[in-house]
Structure 1
């Protein structure tokens, strides 16, 4: 765990009266340890010792023990759901090692332990992910007799909203990988190609670039391609690639989320096949100007609603106000897409930007029957301004218009 996280946790423990936090969701384990669980069955315990120092203990599947950081972890216990003499479940297998960690942390009668609630989406890291349900809570109550568990969801969300400098460096690594993906998407776009062809080329590039990144051990690419009239529906909460063909003059919206070791970037570019109409040229110009207007406002202490409003005003003045059908952005980093992740930049938002927050910025134009254009970049909030994390990714038309 880095120094910034330690300082944040000490302050929050003192404010909330916690003696410990116990987490299972992969995105929370990443936040506290820098280690991304693969099977989603790791338990992370952070506690205060008698000297008021934070200690971290993990119960991990035995197959993942070599992935745990070598420094900063007080104790690691392992468990196995299946051996040649035993078959069980995660909760059966973890009971003994987790109980030992709770006792080693000195958590007993009177201890107040924060645990995860059920509001947050869970990032899958493999083909399954463990969830904190009633059975998990029943087990925890058995292991901590006389202790008190509190729902720490709000505290965890608060922590996740503010990224440390180490975490920002990890997000920048994902941003660089995304650039390789967009270059591959651009090269794959031509009349007669399908959305699936473009997605396949992009996936391959993201995997190659992701695993070539420094210290990368787990790369999770997601690519969504919507061309022509289908791109008009890209404002929905999810986008889906199809086998539809790409035609001359189409808009081709390429959205991607790329995670490297549990740290995410989420970006979108729209390409234009062969040529661009005056209407789409004006829409692109409006989206660029809307981003620039938002960047003039993004800094510590700014109102998220006013940042959204600055971009939305530009879109309205350009005649595309009703075609911009969603908020300007939301937080990301430990997850790719969680529309409730702070800060939420939206006309109804009450959020205030804080230094260390990371959010996307995605002005867009969706025209029924014609197509869609979204320009989605990533921004870190700073005390005196902001950092455009995706500045390596061009938004210029001379790159976005793809000639045959």
Structure 2
């Protein structure tokens, strides 16, 4: 119940009597229960989960230490009546996670205070159980990727490859994809967030694979760029620059340094090699219950001065994208352990030519 206790400390900090969590991610993070319609209410001395008839019995049997409340009618009305029974007056809600309609419906009865990102710093530091689950997920992802290298062949479509990956995720016991996998071949690899298509994979082209699975509620995120055939000198040059930028960033990660410094390290190397304008996204992002979490690993923006802490988990994913030609991205999830970065994946960063 450490997470609940931490939220109760946050209530004191924000001078609140209670907090209503409505986002699926935060409801799962706090309760371990996944539902499309559930709320967590935490007061300074109690915690409760509210859900409808579709999930009620499962929640009761799963959450032995929780007070589980059935939502029989309009959810907002049930929440308000429940809060009245708790005799609270100052109530917080997730300002950055609710719709305008939800916010409007909350008016009246209580003093409401919207708070953005109330759990973001807590979720950024993973505990031992979270790390165990994430390592399990990455290990499964690694094995699937290794099998993929034996399955890939000329004539397959990008969507066929994605379909194969999804099938393997389910076979391994995952809940599915943590995001829609990107399978980008040839010129498509030069588009960072390419949409996997019916394009046929051809010999003599690069293939960028950006994939992730959902394991026990936690996301994996992994990218490699391989070459079907013998890579030419230009591709090898770009690949080497990206790989070295990745390794330099890993070496720079240390407790106490800022995230902006890490991004700058990789970015400056890419710039010195003449490809600065072709690295057009941040170096990485937090990952956990959601595929993109706080903090963002970038040399500018609100998170640039965030200091690295023990237990932080984020991606390192430098890339170079040459329009009309090809792109290269290499991504691993890393955990800050013993003060330094530890990649969760065991897949080498060396170029693979099939």
TM-score by length of 1: 0.79
Aligned twin of 1:128: none
* 1:262 positional shift: 2.8
* 1:252 positional shift: 0.5
Maintained 8 Å contact 1:331/1:358: yes
Report the secondary structure of 1:380's partner residue. Answer: strand
Aligned twin of 1:394: 348
* 1:228 positional shift: 0.1
> CA separation in 1, counterparts of 2:224 and 2:86?
48
Aligned twin of 2:334: 379
Aligned twin of 1:88: none
> CA separation in 1, counterparts of 2:100 and 2:65?
28
> CA separation in 1, counterparts of 2:52 and 2:146?
38
Report the secondary structure of 2:135's partner residue. Answer: helix
Match of 1:230 among 185, 188, 192: 188
Match of 1:347 among 284, 295, 299: 299
Maintained 8 Å contact 1:263/1:334: yes
> CA separation in 1, counterparts of 2:99 and 2:277?
41
Aligned twin of 1:140: 106
Decide whether aligned partners of structure 1 residues 182 and 112 sit closer, same or farther in structure 2, where only a CA change above 3 A counts: same
> CA separation in 2, counterparts of 1:360 and 1:389?
10
Match of 2:50 among 56, 59, 62: 59
* 1:115 positional shift: 0.4
* 1:396 positional shift: 2.4
> CA separation in 1, counterparts of 2:243 and 2:125?
27
Maintained 8 Å contact 2:20/2:42: yes
Report the secondary structure of 2:212's partner residue. Answer: strand
Report the secondary structure of 1:36's partner residue. Answer: coil
> CA separation in 2, counterparts of 1:96 and 1:311?
51
Match of 1:219 among 163, 173, 176: 176
> CA separation in 2, counterparts of 1:364 and 1:25?
32
Unaligned runs of 5+ in 1: 50-54, 81-91, 121-131, 212-217
> CA separation in 1, counterparts of 2:236 and 2:160?
26
Match of 1:115 among 93, 97, 105: 93
Aligned twin of 1:170: 133
Match of 1:274 among 226, 229, 232: 229
Superposition pairs for residues 5-404 of structure 1, below 5 Å?
A: 5-37=3-35, 40-49=36-45, 55-68=46-59, 70-71=62-63, 73-79=65-71, 92-95=73-76, 97-99=78-80, 101-107=82-88, 111-118=89-96, 132-142=98-108, 145=109, 147-211=110-174, 218-221=175-178, 222-234=180-192, 238-337=193-292, 341-348=293-300, 349-382=304-337, 384-390=339-345, 392-397=346-351, 400-402=352-354
> CA separation in 2, counterparts of 1:181 and 1:61?
37
Report the secondary structure of 2:286's partner residue. Answer: coil
Maintained 8 Å contact 1:57/1:73: no
> CA separation in 2, counterparts of 1:101 and 1:202?
45
> CA separation in 1, counterparts of 2:94 and 2:128?
25
Decide whether aligned partners of structure 1 residues 102 and 177 sit closer, same or farther in structure 2, where only a CA change above 3 A counts: farther
* 1:43 positional shift: 0.9
* 1:342 positional shift: 2.4
Q: How many residue pairs align between the two structures?
A: 349
* 1:99 positional shift: 4.2
Unaligned runs of 5+ in 2: none
* 1:67 positional shift: 4.2
Question: Could you report, residue by residue, the CA deviation over 1:127-182 in whole angstroms, capped at 9, with x for unpaired residues?
Answer: xxxxx32443344345xx2x221112132333332222222222223222322442
> CA separation in 2, counterparts of 1:353 and 1:9?
22
> CA separation in 1, counterparts of 2:337 and 2:17?
31
Maintained 8 Å contact 1:77/1:97: no
Decide whether aligned partners of structure 1 residues 101 and 73 sit closer, same or farther in structure 2, where only a CA change above 3 A counts: farther
Maintained 8 Å contact 1:60/1:79: yes
Report the secondary structure of 2:195's partner residue. Answer: coil
